[in-house]
Amino acid sequence: MKKQTTWDIVKRLFMIGMKFRSWFIITLVISIVLAIVSTYRPILTKNVVDIDIVQLKDKAQLMKHIYLLIGLVVAETILNFFLVYFSNFISQNVIRDIRERLYHKLIYFRTAFFDKTPIGSLVTRAVGDVETIATVYTDGFLMVFGDILRIIMVLFAMFQVDTHLSMISLAILPLMVIITRAFQKRLKTAFGMERSWTSTQNSFVQERLAGMPLIQVFNRQEAEFTKFDKINIELKKALLRTVFIFSLFFPVVELISSLFIGFILFYGGFIKSTPGVIIAFIQFINMLIRPLRQIADRFNNIQRGIVGAERVLGVMDEDQAMPNNGTIARDHFDGKIEFQKVHFAYDEKQLVLKGIDFKVNSGETVAIVGATGAGKSTIISLITRLYDINSGKIMLDDVDIRDYELYNLRSHIGVVLQDVFLFHGSIFENLTLGDESITLEQVKKAAKEIEVDQFIEQLPGGYDYVVSERGSSISLGQRQLLSFLRAYLSDPKILILDEATSSIDHESEKLIQRATEKITKNRTSILIAHRLSTIEKADKIIVMDHGLIVEEGTHQELLAKNGYYSLLYKAQVVSPDGDTVI
């Protein structure tokens, strides 16, 4: 992908903001009126001093001008309020829009993207980096336009008041531009390092918190703290570099401003300017320096936002969605599955599946067994098209699964994974996953059918019981049962149980075995289990080893062969707890 320039990013952010063009126009008008009002104030001050005060011509006119000055100050205050409010209003709406676009993009990315991308890095982009983009709108576009307009109007007014002093005042402009550009280049690098180390730290913390039990069991707390401390130190250095550049920039601008005002006072006295002109020019210089300084400050903040936008837009530009070119959508599947010389590798280097062939007839229950790493779970991921195969074909009802509309295909497949994932929310919400077409009555009926209703109703609040993140507030067996019920609720034609009976208590296993017999009836079912006793009644058992199918047949047929399956089965029988990892 071609790297985007700063200008490319600014243009894209501007186009995104155009969704709220009516608010842009309102804020633009406020900015123009504010520039006119603020520029007129020094001119009025000059007239008050030179005519109303020095010459003392008309006391009534003096009071009139003073009231007008007060009115201008009040008007500026009100206009500034609305300018800041509407700028932030626009920025927050744009940020919400970008967050929605980013999240919508992420939820359709293929699984392989999340395999290689740290989750903490994505969280940083979705939260921290998106938040920095707000500065492009609060301190960018409209505010910079207002500052530039104010500079132009101030310069015009200055020339109307005194040409000589105005010509001298112009000398400050190129100096400020040079200083701003010098700091801007250094800030871009500093901001980039800051966001990079922030992302690294977020990824590290999220991963370690998820794996805290492992860290504690192996007494690695201090070792992990040392790693965190190194990252934290690098982040501190990056932040301090940014702070140093900011801290140096503003005193330099203030110094130049003060020296220039002093010079204007000296030169104004030298050429015998009137007191009103000198006072007006002091105001003009402040009004000139302020937007120049604000533009510099805004560019610094905008630079931070652009760095964040580059990282966010980089993710949004990723073409990582699973191809969905299929056009076939069916209301019903027979459930016949066939693998034809399927090859697959996760990293395109080491094949996980090496040209496997097998068939599952409609309504059959087929078990897949094998040692860890044999490739059995990969088969499940390929059927649901979480990954696409490298070569060969996977047929469903004699049609390549890639020819089906992706979401239609998945709607007919129910899956129970070994690593059960439950979201923070109620039992009911986790079972329906937000599907409003599923009622509480349907959930209760399904739970009763597969005999998991009792344990749910015993929980505080029953179906309204709120489970903690990843379901850690309930037992592993209970999580498995909920996952089983979740799959059953979708009424799938194809049911996949990926090691659903491993690592659970005996009572939960019996519940799942009874439920399995009920829901696999008249469904194409694929079972992967550690405990071979749970698959003895399967219509067919496929035995895998290192990405190859080494045996295939019924339980009795495979035992009679006295091959690899027989060895696995005998190893379990002699195991003291009747279990072995396969």
Would 400 be classed as within a structural domain? Answer: yes
- As a whole number of Å, the CA-based R_g of the chain is 35
The answer to whether residue 405 sits within a structural domain is yes
| Domain-embedded: residue 493 | no
Residue where a domain terminates, one of 291, 316, 341: 316
Please tell me whether residues 29 and 59 are part of one structural domain.
yes
Q: What is the pLDDT of residue 376?
A: 85
Q: Specify the 3-state DSSP secondary structure of 525.
A: strand
| Residue 29 placed within a domain | yes
For the chain, first and last CA: distance in Å? 43
Asked if 363 and 339 touch (Cβ cutoff 8 Å), the reply is no
Q: Each residue's pLDDT tens digit in the chain (582 positions)?
A: 556 788 888 888 888 888 888 998 999 899 899 988 888 888 887 777 766 565 666 677 778 878 888 898 899 899 989 988 998 888 888 888 998 899 888 888 888 888 888 877 888 888 888 888 888 888 777 788 888 888 888 888 888 887 877 777 777 777 777 777 777 778 778 877 887 888 888 878 877 777 776 677 566 778 888 888 899 899 888 888 888 887 787 787 777 777 777 777 776 666 666 777 778 777 887 777 777 777 767 777 787 788 888 889 988 888 888 888 999 999 999 999 999 999 999 887 789 999 999 999 999 999 999 887 788 889 988 999 989 999 999 999 999 999 999 989 998 998 888 777 888 888 898 888 888 888 999 999 988 988 888 888 988 989 999 887 766 778 777 888 888 888 888 888 999 988 655 556 677 677 777 777 777 878 999 998 777 877 888 999 999 998 999 999 999 999 999 999 998 888 876 554 444 444
Q: 31 and 127 in one domain? A: yes
Shared domain check, 404 and 264: no
Q: Kindly state whether residues 302 and 361 are assigned to the same domain.
A: no
Q: Rounded CA gap, 372 and 242, in Å?
A: 49
Within this chain, do residues 169 and 251 fall inside the same structural domain, yes or no? Answer: yes
Question: Do 142 and 56 belong together in one domain?
Answer: yes
Of 152, 157, 141, 149, the closest CA to residue 33 belongs to 149
Same domain, 175 and 70: yes
Residues 38 and 121 in one domain: yes
Angstrom distance (rounded) from CA 242 to CA 488: 55
**Does 42 share its domain with 163?**
yes
Determine, yes or no, domain membership for 386: yes
In a shared domain, residues 194 and 260: yes
Structural domain of residue 20, as residue ranges? 6-203+239-316
What span, in angstroms and rounded, lies between the C-alpha atoms of 358 and 560? 21
Domain count, the chain: 2
259 and 369, same domain (yes or no)? no
Identify whether residues 49 and 151 lie together within a single domain.
yes
Measured N-to-C along each axis, helices 141-161 and 275-316 cross at an angle, to the nearest 10 degrees, of 160
